[in-house]
Amino acid sequence: MQKKRSGFRTAASMLAAVIFAAALACAFEILKLPEQVYLQSGNETELRTELPLSLSASEDTADAIALSGETLDDVTYSLSDKVTISSKGEGEAKLTVKLFGIPVKDITVTSADEKLLVAGGESIGVMLYTNGALVVGLMEVSGNNPAAEAGLKPGDIIVAVNGTEIRDAQHLTELVEENGESELSLGVMRDDKSLELQITPCRDSSDGALRLGAWVRDSTLGVGTLTYIDPEEKSFGGLGHAITDYDTGSLLNVKDGKIVLSDIVEIVKGETGEPGELKGYFSVQGEVLGNIEENTKYGIYGSLKNSSSINSDSVYPAANRDEVKKGKAKILCTLDDTGVQEYECEVTKVSHQNSPDQKSFTIKVTDEKLLELTGGIVQGMSGSPVIQNGKIIGAVTHVFVDDPTQGYGLYIDWMLEHDS
């Protein structure tokens, strides 16, 4: 009798474990479905799960979207098959996800004629890793100048040793040591052109190591501001200008990189002739918001990994540059642990541009609180979105050195043009 009871308990425990695992799988699949979907008119997106979930919508949303090419009605669509949500025009649609006929989640679909963006303003830590090793300076090695004699220059990027691609600066050191004191061939990129230089390493008398006579770097860290998230493309843009090496001024190419949230720990107030700074702290092991895929003159761009800590309610249409006018506007940025706040400013000059330029318009900070805290625009605010007449018009890029209350902005459509 005791054995039967024990067997019954074991079977019951196994059944409970199976039910619990199935419930977890269902919950995970449901959580993966978005709560909000943003579509520009004429575009579409797809939903699909492995669970027996269904999707339904009422007729009053038929003007905004269509499901799998059909005008909306009270028909239920199975999510175990691919369901395509298509934008037909401006409006909002409410979709209901059901499991065995029981509602488990609502999805709001917003369709608009204009590009919709989630405005940023969050302080972000930026970690960028380059292809190869960037030469930031030359040096003597035991009285010799091997790098200079070979024609190597600051700003060059060493990408290969004797035909072997290098992963990073440490890998370069290892390949030089393996080669010994004989001449080797360096694959170098200079101004987007490939070069091959012959160089003979020298033995450093101080520690016996073989050296090329060049200081190199393969990564950089910094703090800036997130400009926008594109909820339709699941991408982001930030900074409004390129990440460059602080020794050579060279634009850093991207092997990989990531952005994480940063905490502002100190504000250095800007003064005439001395730009201020937002000093931030972030962990390189922190939760990754997105992966950096491009570093351009007009900002950093990449794919979004996690937007749960971003205020997804802050959605604005992207303004065309012709819509930007002189007058009142707002800057979104983070200065402390209260998160993203709005600060008043004024667009004082608008440039009519036919090609991208970081100095698209001029802004003047008028918000008394921002002036008191920072003196105006400071380093670290680059990328802060600028809002005017209910639209995101661009991002802060630079501060006037002789007047920190003023700075430049970049049109949002220039940023979007380079987000590709």
Q: Are both 201 and 160 inside the same structural domain?
A: yes
Tally the domains of the chain: 3
pLDDT of residue 99: 78
CA distance 89 to 85: 12
CATH for 105? 2.60.40
Domain at 390, CATH number: 2.40.10.120
Centroid of chain to Cα 72: 35
- Percent of the chain residues past pLDDT 70, beyond the cut: 85
pLDDT tops 50 at residue 2: no
In a domain, 182, yes or no: yes
Residue 280 has pLDDT above 70, yes or no: yes
| Pairing verdict, β 77-78 and 102-112 | unpaired
Q: What is the pLDDT of residues 322-331, one digit of tens each?
A: 889 999 999 9
pLDDT tier at 144, thresholds 50, 70, 90: confident
The domain that holds 148 is classified in CATH as 2.30.42.10
Of 73-77, 340-344, 370-374, which gets the smallest average pLDDT?
A: 73-77
State whether 55 and 194 are in the same domain: no
- Distance from CA of residue 379 to its chain's centroid? 18
pLDDT beyond 80 at 281: yes
In this structure, the answer to whether residues 205 and 245 fall within a common structural domain is no
- The alpha-helical segments, DSSP class H, found in 48-192 are 146-150, 169-179
331 and 373 inside one domain: yes
Would residue 336 count as lying in a domain?
yes
User: Which pTM value belongs to this model?
Assistant: 0.73
Rg of the chain taking only CA atoms, in angstroms: 27
**Is it the case that residue 365 has pLDDT exceeding 70?**
yes
Q: pLDDT (tens digit, 9 = 90+) per residue, 289-338? A: 899 999 988 999 999 887 766 666 788 999 988 889 999 999 999 998 88
157 and 281 fall within a common domain? no
Note the pLDDT tens digit of each residue in 95-132: 788 877 788 788 887 777 778 899 999 999 998 888 88
User: Is 156 in the same domain as 169?
Assistant: yes
- Which residues form the domain of 405? 115-128+218-420
Q: Are residues 261 and 396 in the same domain?
A: yes
Average pLDDT over residues 148-177: 89
Annotated catalytic sites, by residue? Answer: 241, 367, 382
Please determine, for residue 191, whether its predicted confidence score (pLDDT) is greater than 70: yes
Phi, psi (5° rounding) for residue 18?
Answer: -65, -45
Question: Residue 28 in contact with residue 74, Cβ under 8 Å?
Answer: no
Residue-level pLDDT at 22: 58
pLDDT at 1 over 70: no
Instruction: Provide the 8-state DSSP code for 274.
Output: B
- Cβ contacts of 391 within 8 Å, gap of 6 or more: 114, 316, 317, 318, 319, 323
Residues 109 and 123 in one domain: no
244 and 345 in one domain? yes
Residue 233 has a pLDDT of 85
pLDDT at position 387 over 90: yes
The domain boundary, picked from 181, 212, 243, lies at: 212
Assess whether 301 and 410 both reside in one domain. yes
Q: Coil, strand, or helix at residue 260?
A: strand
> Degrees (nearest 5) of the Cα angle 260, 264, 266?
145
Per the domain annotation, does 134 fall within a domain? no
Supply the mean pLDDT for the chain.
83
Tell me whether residue 157 is in a domain. Answer: yes
